[in-house]
Amino acid sequence: MEAQSRVRAGGRSERVRRQVAQACLDLLAEGITDLSPAEVARRSGVTRTTIYRWWPTKAALIAEALTAHTRHRLDPPDTGSWAGDVAGLAVSMAAFFSDPVEVSQNVIMARGDDPEYERIVLEHYSPLFDAWREVVERARARGELVAGVDADAVVLALVSPLLLVPLLFHRTLTADEVTRHVDLVIGATQVIGR
């Protein structure tokens, strides 16, 4: 049984859950993927017994951390227009990918030395990728996209610079850079005159 089904919202259970998630995120921000229950207990102030009972595996601890890390931060907007959706998504992604935890996580993924961690992360992000593709499909259904636009290609084009600038250049994109990037994606995909 996963921690989510055992931990009730509110009260002590919710506080414990937040403390454990934050301890795990702090470790990930330091580049540590081996989330030992002893270290998580020390950092969170939660007993090892509770951690073993609620999060019996490394995968469960990582999943808890990732859930806290991404919760509502990358939900795609539905503004009713392709331009509005791309702009809203790009702004939230730019902020998210500049988060120190996310930068560290992307370094860990780029190193490629922890296949279990990579599997857990990709599994966690899979529904988010699906939701981002759905933004493209909504625009296609409204007739806003040029024929043949591939949803995966659009998502990769949108995400790549927003992720790579913080990762490689160690800085956050400016609002002007995000706007120029949004204009580029829209210009390459939107039916002219829409």
92 occurs within a structural domain: yes
Residue 104 to residue 25: CA distance in whole angstroms: 10
Q: What digits encode the pLDDT tens for the residues 80-128?
A: 999 999 999 999 999 999 999 999 999 999 999 999 999 999 999 999 9
**Percent residues over pLDDT 70 in the chain:** 94
Q: What integer best gives the mean pLDDT of the chain? A: 92
Q: Tell me which of 69, 95, 117 is where a domain ends.
A: 69
194 occurs within a structural domain: no
Q: How confident is the model at residue 2 (pLDDT cuts 50, 70, 90)?
A: very low
Query: Containing H/E element for 133?
Result: helix 115-141
Residue 161 has pLDDT above 50, yes or no: yes
pTM given for the model: 0.85
* Domain count for the chain: 2
Q: How confident is the model at residue 193 (pLDDT cuts 50, 70, 90)?
A: confident
Q: Tell me which of 23, 39, 69 is where a domain ends.
A: 69
Residue 157 to residue 60: CA distance in whole angstroms: 31
Residue 191 has pLDDT above 80, yes or no: yes
> How far is CA 154 from its chain centroid?
17
Residue 13 has pLDDT above 70, yes or no: yes
Residue ranges making up the domain that contains 19: 3-69
* Bridge partner list, 145: 190
* Residue carrying the six token digits 């509502």: 72
Query: Containing H/E element for 181?
Result: helix 175-189
- 102 half-sphere exposure, CB direction, 13 A CA radius: 23
Which ranges in 7-81 belong to alpha helices (H)? 11-29, 37-44, 48-54, 58-70
| Confidence at residue 10, expressed as pLDDT on a 0 to 100 scale | 60
44 and 98 both lie in a single domain = no
86 and 53 both lie in a single domain = no
130 occurs within a structural domain: yes
Residue 168 has pLDDT above 90, yes or no: yes
96 occurs within a structural domain: yes
| Confidence at residue 140, expressed as pLDDT on a 0 to 100 scale | 96
Please state the rounded mean pLDDT for residues 161-173: 95
